[in-house]
Amino acid sequence: MMILGLETSCDETAAAVVEDGRHAHSSVVASQIDVHKAYGGVVPEVAARSHIEVVLPVIHEALDKAGVTWDQIDGIAVTHGPGLLGSLLMGTLTARTLALAHHKPLYAVNHVVAHTFANALVPETAGFEPDIFPLLSLSASGKHSELLLFDSPLEYRLLGSTRDDAAGEAFDKVARMLGLPYPGGPQIGKLALQGNEQAFQLPTARLDNSYDFSFSGLKTAVLRGLQTAIGGDFRTPSAELPDRLTDQQKADMAASFQRTVCETLAGHLRRAAAQFQPKTVVIAGGVAANGRLRKEVSRQLPYNINYAPMPYCTDNGAMIGAMGYHLAQAGLTTSPYELTTDPSLGF
């Protein structure tokens, strides 16, 4: 079964052709990073406009690269939430129109849940077959940090989520304090290689044994640590930090911050694995591309983890197509006349 997956929930316009939920025949991602860099983050109105410009070319390229025509597509899967309203509308309106024009069934996909399905695309695995469940997933990106427990591809429950900033958002904000461009995660990862990860001792939030996360206190601790490092106090504007910090101080903070976040994420995963005894553990979302996190997860958990390739960790259409396959198997179509968008779609 061949599914066209379409993703436009934030600043990436992405389409992919996925067979049977596990073979991506193509995956095209048009990133708007350069457009948003000037503002230090994503500007919703600009994002929506950029999707309009590229969505059809991206879909055509995905079909071309996969070497398929519309006749060979069995269904269209599209992200309908959570995300930015204008961006989601562009994707869902496009998918609804294409579903009507080409007489294809339409599948509505939850973006956060779909991140986990990137792991079904790993060639070394058997895909999301029944014997891999229960599956424990840490999904961490720029807008969400969730621990999910799957009993089957479409039966999942939320064990914990962030109470304030998402993990990726914390990477992006700390990167900004260090004068690094958006998106900050990959930049911090690179700079951290030159730093001492024990140089700064940063706090981790303790949330009474729950599986929730909190990263805003850590972000403030980074700010205070950097202000102190340059001899300032809490009134020193963060905009002054990049020019007054030495390269070594920046690298040390990048490494210390990254260690703290990775230890926290992996620690939650380890506790949840001990309690729920899943057969499989995966990590997903943009932050799952972080090498230090992968190392920490492998160190803390007694599981043989097949990590998804980097391009399937950040936003892409293949994970949408992979989840769409399972919705198709379950007969969960949505009418193109009725598909809605939900910016704060939950679980």
| Binding positions for Zn ion, rule: CB under 5 A | 141, 315
Residue of the chain from 133, 150, 156, 171 that contacts ligand KG4 (CB under 6 A): 171
Helices in the chain by DSSP H: which ranges?
33-37, 44-66, 85-102, 111-117, 167-177, 184-192, 216-229, 241-244, 247-276, 291-300, 310-313, 318-329
| Interacting residues of 53 by C-beta distance below 8 A, sequence separation 6+ | none
Residues 56, 49: contact at Cβ < 8 Å? no
Residues 285, 141: contact at Cβ < 8 Å? yes
Query: Is residue 278 involved in binding ligand KG4 (CB under 6 A)?
Result: no
Residue of the chain from 116, 314, 334, 341 that contacts ligand KG4 (CB under 6 A): 314
**Touching ligand KG4, residues 116-155 (CB under 6 A):** 141-143
Distances (CA, A) of 191 to 223, 260, 309: 17, 15, 21
| Interacting residues of 283 by C-beta distance below 8 A, sequence separation 6+ | 137, 138, 139, 140, 265, 269, 293, 294, 297, 305, 307
Residue 143 CB, nearest distance to ligand KG4 (Å)? 4
Which of ligand KG4, Zn ion, none binds 270 (CB below 5-8 Å, type-dependent)? none
Query: Is residue 82 involved in binding ligand KG4 (CB under 6 A)?
Result: no
Residue 186 CB, nearest distance to ligand KG4 (Å)? 4
Residue least distant from Zn ion (Cβ) = 141
Which of ligand KG4, Zn ion, none binds 314 (CB below 5-8 Å, type-dependent)? ligand KG4
Cβ neighbours, 10 Å, residue 89:
18
Residue 15 CB, nearest distance to ligand KG4 (Å)? 15
Calpha distance 177→241 (Å, rounded): 6
Query: Is residue 78 involved in binding ligand KG4 (CB under 6 A)?
Result: no
Beta strand 75-81 with 2-7: parallel, antiparallel or unpaired?
Answer: parallel
Query: Is residue 184 involved in binding ligand KG4 (CB under 6 A)?
Result: yes
Nearer Cβ to Zn ion (141/280)? 141
Of the ranges 45-53, 179-187, 249-257, 328-336, which one interacts with ligand KG4 (CB under 6 A)? 179-187
User: Footprint of ligand KG4 on this chain (CB under 6 A)?
Assistant: 10, 141-143, 168-169, 171-172, 183-186, 189, 285-287, 289-290, 314-315
